[in-house]
Amino acid sequence: MAHSNRYENKIVVVTGSAQGIGRGVAIAIAAEGGQVVLVDRSELVAEAALDIQKVGLPALTLLADLETYEGAQSVVTQTIKKFDRIDVLINNVGGTIWAKPYQEYQPHEIEAEIRRSLFPTLWCCHAVLASMIAQQAGVIVNVSSIATRSIHRVPYGAAKGGVNSMTACLAFEHAQNGIRINAVATGGTEAPARKILRNSQAMSEQEKIWYQDIVDQTVNSTLMKRYGSVTEQVNAILFLGSDESSYITGTVLPVGGGDQG
């Protein structure tokens, strides 16, 4: 079944779209007719936008640090100034910075994990709600993770557990405003090597062992015994962001080969 126009005439903000799943989402939405706004704190986001523009599709880029409320508010303000509205917000910023047993984390590392993987979603949802309430319509898709049941990344799992909870609570609050809020809990995903590493320091030999433990646990926890592809994650996100999911809200959809997270 073709879905070539699901996003026609939709203004869609995709955060964390410089690379990985976010980049894939932005390109796919543009291909389905959406006016996509690519947001990242890395200037690499311009390369993703260029790939969209090369095939004659519209794309706008905004640089912002979404770990701050000011960054989130600037994205909403600039998008509404240009397009008058935001129809769909896809919150994709996040990712494990360190991989190790919880007792090995330093306090500043725990705080950094929460800032990276919870606050961008908290801030962006808060920033966009007033406009969506005013228009009595809108869709938010939060990218979560099956790492809420995992090993060696407790702070990240806690952050994504927060994303799941706020998804349910916001859906409860704002169904009356015509706003749907759902989440995709991504499983292990085979993505191209990151151009900008989440952790600028190379892993120690012990950290490499701990990271391999995560990989092994992730594969073993799936029924399919494999990682997913970027496309498999993108497909689920686009479904929840589209009108095809019009009777779904407050749901966290695990996309982890049978691992429910």
Q: Which residues are catalytic?
A: 156
Rounded Cα gap, residues 50 and 148, in angstroms = 35
Cβ atoms 94, 143 nearer than 8 A:
yes
CB 99 within 8 A of CB 153: yes
Q: Whole-angstrom Cα distance, residue 13 to residue 89?
A: 5
Please give the radius of gyration of the chain, using alpha carbons only, rounded to the nearest integer. Answer: 18
Q: Tell me the residue type at 32.
A: E
DSSP state of 7: T
The string of DSSP codes covering 103-162 is GG--HHHHHHHHHHHTHHHHHHHHHHHHHHHHHT-EEEEEEEEGGGS-SS-HHHHHHHHH
